[in-house]
Amino acid sequence: MEGQELPYVLINCIGGVHGVYEDHVGFLQKHFHLVTMKEYLENKTFLSKKIRAIYMWYHKPVVNKELLQSLPNLRIVASSGVGIDHLDLNLLSSFGVKVSNTPFIVSTDTADLGMALMLASSRRLVEGHEMAVSPDTEYFPADWLGAEVSGATLGIVGMGTIGYKVAERAKGFEMKILYHNRSQRKKEEESAVGAVYCKKIDDLLQQSDFVLLTVNLTPQTHKLIGKRELELMKPTATLINISRGLVVDQDALVEALQNKVIKAAALDVTYPEPLPRDHPLLKLKNVIITPHIGSATKKTRRIMMEEMTESIQAGLAGLPIPHEVLP
């Protein structure tokens, strides 16, 4: 558009541990005039009226009432990733601000990570690696064993896009697949992966060797897995969480792991992230934790950025917004 200014879009910062990626900036600057939080705060009077969109990369910048009140021309907040539990949708809606996320692009990477955690936990991969490289290792003991994934029973709690992709992958390992979901999936979808619906989560918990959480975080799923649910699980079972830390009652989990109520846990998500350095979960031998890397691949993050750009452009043009999130 000749002569027309690029829309002003607020970001947290560029680079560093929390910022927009340096190698994404080139693409973004073709479409937007990026304003960092620092620049905004230094020149509020001028910039506050110019900013029409917020590019929220990994939950930053934080959008609160104060910020919304000072950005009268804000039209849209584009949030990275699929989860929107960090956003107050009602608040945003009350200011007439639209919201978008990137729901589908994260699915395969997240499902892959769920499988990676299940395999790593079951076959004791992290422990094994530590043994293989430890200066104290003199031989590999013959009585050091893990448990098989192939042919075992996987219970998927939350069979949305990501849960279904996990089921597709687990099928390749000839796992028996159970799932619990708000609603039953279509018969063709079930039979394509050989998944059996468990209307009651208890049935799934009692029969599974691996319980994998792929729900979104809502008031209904908050502490979905607590003391009762952990006790329903087999003592030989493993809990895998690739959803949100708050879906699990973390204190109950610590107790269950300490008392061998369940065998092990593998968590890509905790509450908070990172955990305090003295948290008991960090010390338990039967836990592996990854630093919330469900969608952490170069390709996926690039596509996320491109989708967010598209959503912002549509939002500013008054067109239907791809991946709009409604309150």
Partner 1 sequence: MFMSKAFSLLKPIPLMSGQSNLAYKFIHQLVASHGHRCHRSLIYKQRYRTYPCSAGRRTISAETKVMAKEELPGVLILDIGGTQGVLENLATLLRKHFHLITMKEFLENKEEMSKKIQSVFVFECRPTIDRELLESLPNLKVIGNSGVGVDHLDLKMISSFGVKVTNTPHAVADPTADIGMALMLASARRLVEGCQIAVSPDTKHFAVDWLGVEVTRATLGIIGMGSIGYKVAQRARAFNMRILYHNRNRRKEEEEAVGAHYCEKMEDLLQQSDFVMLVVNLTPETRKLIGKKELGLMKPTATLINISRGAVIDQDALVEALQNKVIRAAALDVTYPEPLPRDHPLLKLNNVIITPHIGTATVQAIHMMAEEAIANILAVLNGQPIPSEVFPK
State which amino acid sits at residue 280.
P
Q: Which residues contact 275 (CB under 8 A, 6 or more apart)?
A: 281, 282, 289
Cα dihedral 280/281/283/287 (nearest 10):
150
13, 25, 128, 310: which one binds partner 1 (CB under 8 A): 128
Q: Which stretch binds partner 1 (CB under 8 A): 36-44, 45-53, 62-70, 289-297?
A: 289-297
Q: Which of 22, 189, 231, 273 is catalytic?
A: 273
**Residue 301 binds partner 1, judged by CB under 8 A:** yes
**Residue 184 binds partner 1, judged by CB under 8 A:** no
**Residue 133 binds partner 1, judged by CB under 8 A:** yes
Told to judge if 124 belongs to the known catalytic residues of this protein, a careful annotator would answer no
**Residue 171 binds partner 1, judged by CB under 8 A:** yes
1, 2, 3, 17: which one binds partner 1 (CB under 8 A): 17
Please give the residues from 97 up to 116 whose contact with partner 1 meets the rule CB under 8 A: 108-109, 111-113, 115-116
Strands 324-325, 98-100: pairing is antiparallel
Q: How far is CA 150 from CA 36, 133, 147, 268, 276, in A?
A: 49, 27, 9, 22, 35
Strands 153-157, 210-213: pairing is parallel
**How does DSSP assign 208-263, residue by residue?**
-SEEEE-PPP-TTTTT-B-HHHHHHS-TT-EEEE-S-GGGB-HHHHHHHHHTTSSS
Q: Which stretch binds partner 1 (CB under 8 A): 42-50, 143-151, 182-190, 212-220?
A: 143-151
Told to judge if 244 belongs to the known catalytic residues of this protein, a careful annotator would answer yes
Residue with tokens 């967010």: 308
Q: Which of 244, 301, 307, 323 is catalytic?
A: 244
What letter does residue 141 receive in the DSSP assignment?
-
Told to judge if 31 belongs to the known catalytic residues of this protein, a careful annotator would answer no
CB atoms within 10 A of CB 163: 26
Distance in Å, CB of 219 to partner 1, minimum? 26
**Residue 120 binds partner 1, judged by CB under 8 A:** yes
Q: Footprint of partner 1 on this chain (CB under 8 A)?
A: 15, 17-19, 21, 57-58, 108-109, 111-113, 115-117, 119-120, 123-126, 128-129, 131-133, 135, 137-153, 168-174, 176, 207, 273-275, 277, 282, 288-293, 296-301
